[in-house]
């Protein structure tokens, strides 16, 4: 395989993780329960009853994991803070033990020349706040800003990139509309206040962070290019509707200060918006985090489909019955990951160029905060893990990012999902996304062939 083309000076290369997916130690050092602890404990929610109780035991093994990042040659690392290690019930003073853990991690990264990108919220709301209404309740936005301030009081300028929320689109749809993720709500479109309150929480958190740090601030969302199943006007309308939900609902308010047109969903106005909210939400950002996995293909309702790779596909094939203005249509003729997601590297270039064209000067620099694939990886008899599909995936997607940069898009970094095989939400430990294989019985870490490949690519750069 040819070496990758040169990326701009200072480009960040690293891996991404999230607290609940890797840390384990869920009852240690005062950590309070989050909605994911509750969700996993409910029978039938997660495949085979898996939980994040132990996960990759990163809470104890983080020095070994830092060594892996150094061996990879990464100059960035994206991780998330578990809110309930800082505030066990989501309010009040910080528990210093939680902050001590993240401070040691951050200092360990800085010692190794790895820039810390810290996500404040990767879906693990304190259960106590969920009991008070969760993201459907406006007060949660204020609680989030308070928590952001506590983390920034301790870590402030040591963080290279602050990321407020991870994938509010997925948290809204999977967690609050369809119930396949915590908190398991099935509110369908009645979940929209949880969209607004996440965004308001972001805006208030940005203000709290700006008071405490001059480091750059971003929000990360999941994005996908949306393709029409045919050239018909009906399918074009389905594309507009799906695109509004997946790509615009959280990004238009951030960058343009207004919600997109949701009339195709029978929604005239997002409920819960008060005077001044959109100004807070549209406070200037230094970067936007983009998580990309695959494009989505949709058709008008009643035209078949239902099993495609949209952000809603995990809800099952019955989307047609929900009265939505689109149905999901499979993308054919591409390789697929172990998850069944189509592999379309150029979709990432298309997405990035499309965002630039849509938002123009309002678009801040972009960082690819997640991209990766799951595969059925196993340690072979010789002790190695051969994952050629992941190497091809990463090679293809990095080249796509490079093409977008050549086309003039300002992209500043790329984080592989993920460093380690980990707890993949409702799939439990069944989807392996790591550059490093984890044996969940022994906790043994084995770098896969893709790890060695990426290390060699990064070495060539220095």
Binding site for ligand FCB (CB under 6 A): 18, 21, 166-167, 170, 222, 291, 370, 417, 424-425, 433
Q: How far is the CB of 335 from ligand FCB (least distance, A)?
A: 17
Could you give the CA distance from residue 427 to residue 313 in angstroms, rounded to a whole number? 14
Catalytic residue list contains 370: yes
For ligand FCB, the closer CB: 199 or 278: 199
Q: Pick the catalytic residue: 167, 185, 350, 424?
A: 167
For ligand FCB, the closer CB: 240 or 414: 414
For ligand FCB, the closer CB: 73 or 77: 77
Q: How far is the CB of 366 from ligand FCB (least distance, A)?
A: 16
Q: Name the nearest CA neighbour of 120 among 172, 66, 170, 166.
A: 166
Residue showing tokens 């238009």: 252
Q: How far is the CB of 341 from ligand FCB (least distance, A)?
A: 9
Q: How far is the CB of 447 from ligand FCB (least distance, A)?
A: 19
Q: Which residues of 276-296 are buried (b: 16+ CB within 10 A; e: fewer)?
A: ebbebbbbebbbbbbbbbbbb
Residue 314, SS3? helix
Could you give the CA distance from residue 84 to residue 79 in angstroms, rounded to a whole number? 15
Could you give the CA distance from residue 376 to residue 389 in angstroms, rounded to a whole number? 10
For ligand FCB, the closer CB: 201 or 372: 372
For ligand FCB, the closer CB: 147 or 423: 423
For ligand FCB, the closer CB: 20 or 451: 20
Contacts of 401 (CB under 8 A, 6+ apart): 7, 348, 349, 352, 368, 411, 414
For ligand FCB, the closer CB: 167 or 235: 167
Residue 433 structure tokens: 């996304």
Q: Name the nearest CA neighbour of 289 among 365, 373, 346, 396.
A: 365
Q: How far is the CB of 419 from ligand FCB (least distance, A)?
A: 12
Residue 23 half-sphere exposure toward CB, CA atoms < 13 A: 25
Q: How far is the CB of 202 from ligand FCB (least distance, A)?
A: 16
Q: Pick the catalytic residue: 23, 185, 370, 424?
A: 370
Q: Name the nearest CA neighbour of 422 among 45, 72, 58.
A: 58
For ligand FCB, the closer CB: 165 or 282: 165
Could you give the CA distance from residue 49 to residue 368 in angstroms, rounded to a whole number? 32
Q: Name the nearest CA neighbour of 150 among 94, 105, 83.
A: 94
Contacts of 178 (CB under 8 A, 6+ apart): 186, 188, 312, 314, 315
Q: How far is the CB of 413 from ligand FCB (least distance, A)?
A: 16
Alpha carbon dihedral 202, 204, 207, 209, in 10-degree steps, equals -60
Which residues face 288 on adjacent strands? 219, 366
Contacts of 181 (CB under 8 A, 6+ apart): 39, 123, 170, 171, 174, 175, 425, 426
Q: How far is the CB of 222 from ligand FCB (least distance, A)?
A: 6
401-406: long-range contacts at Cβ-Cβ below 8 A with a sequence spacing of 24 or more?
A: 401/7, 401/348, 401/349, 401/352, 401/368, 402/4, 402/5, 402/7, 403/346, 403/349, 404/348, 404/349, 404/352, 404/353, 405/7, 405/8
Q: How far is the CB of 17 from ligand FCB (least distance, A)?
A: 8
Q: Which residues of 139-167 are buried (b: 16+ CB within 10 A; e: fewer)?
A: ebbebbbbbbbbbbebbeebbbbbbbbbb
For ligand FCB, the closer CB: 237 or 338: 338
Catalytic positions, written as ranges: 167, 370
């Amino acid at each position: 395989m040819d070496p990758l083309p040169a990326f701009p000076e200072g480009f960040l290369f690293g891996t991404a993780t999230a607290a609940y997916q890797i840390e384990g130690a869920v009852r240690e050092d005062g950590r309070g329960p989050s909605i994911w602890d509750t969700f996993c404990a409910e029978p039938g929610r997660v495949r085979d009853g898996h939980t994040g109780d132990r996960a990759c035991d990163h809470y104890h093994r983080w020095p070994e994991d830092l060594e892996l990042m150094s061996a990879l040659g990464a100059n960035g690392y994206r991780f998330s803070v578990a809110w309930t290690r800082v505030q066990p019930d989501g309010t009040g003073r910080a528990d210093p033990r939680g902050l001590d853990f993240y401070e040691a991690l951050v200092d360990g990264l800085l010692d190794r020349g790895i820039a810390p990108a810290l996500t404040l919220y990767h879906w693990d709301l304190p259960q106590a706040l969920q009991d008070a209404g969760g993201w459907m309740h406006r007060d949660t936005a204020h609680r989030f800003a308070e928590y952001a301030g506590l983390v920034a009081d301790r870590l402030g300028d040591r963080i290279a990139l602050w990321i407020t929320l991870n994938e509010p689109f997925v948290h809204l749809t999977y967690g609050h509309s369809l119930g396949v993720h915590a908190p398991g709500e099935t509110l369908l479109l009645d979940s929209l206040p949880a969209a607004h309150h996440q965004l308001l929480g972001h805006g208030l958190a940005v203000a709290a962070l700006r008071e405490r740090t001059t480091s750059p601030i971003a929000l990360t969302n999941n994005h996908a290019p949306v393709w029409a199943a045919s050239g018909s006007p009906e399918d074009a309308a389905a594309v507009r509707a799906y695109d509004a939900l997946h790509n615009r609902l959280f990004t238009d308010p951030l960058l343009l200060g207004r919600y997109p047109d949701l009339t195709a969903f029978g929604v005239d106005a997002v409920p819960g918006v008060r005077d001044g909210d959109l100004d807070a939400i549209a406070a200037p950002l230094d970067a936007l985090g983009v998580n990309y996995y695959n494009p989505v293909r949709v058709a008008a309702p009643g035209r078949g489909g239902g099993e495609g790779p949209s952000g809603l596909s995990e809800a099952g094939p019955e989307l047609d019955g929900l009265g939505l203005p689109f149905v999901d249509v499979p993308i054919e003729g591409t390789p697929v990951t172990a998850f069944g997601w189509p592999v379309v590297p150029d979709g990432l270039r298309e997405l990035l160029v499309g965002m630039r064209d849509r938002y123009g000067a309002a678009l801040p620099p972009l960082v690819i905060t997640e991209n990766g694939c799951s595969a059925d990886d196993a340690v072979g008899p010789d002790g190695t893990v051969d994952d050629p599909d992941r190497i091809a995936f990463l090679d293809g997607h990095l080249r796509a990012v490079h093409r977008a940069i050549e086309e003039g898009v300002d992209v500043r970094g790329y984080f592989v999902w993920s460093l380690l095989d980990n707890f993949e939400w409702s799939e439990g430990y069944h989807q392996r996304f790591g550059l490093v294989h984890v044996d969940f019985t022994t906790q043994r870490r084995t770098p896969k062939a893709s790890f060695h490949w990426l290390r060699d690519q990064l070495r060539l750069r220095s």
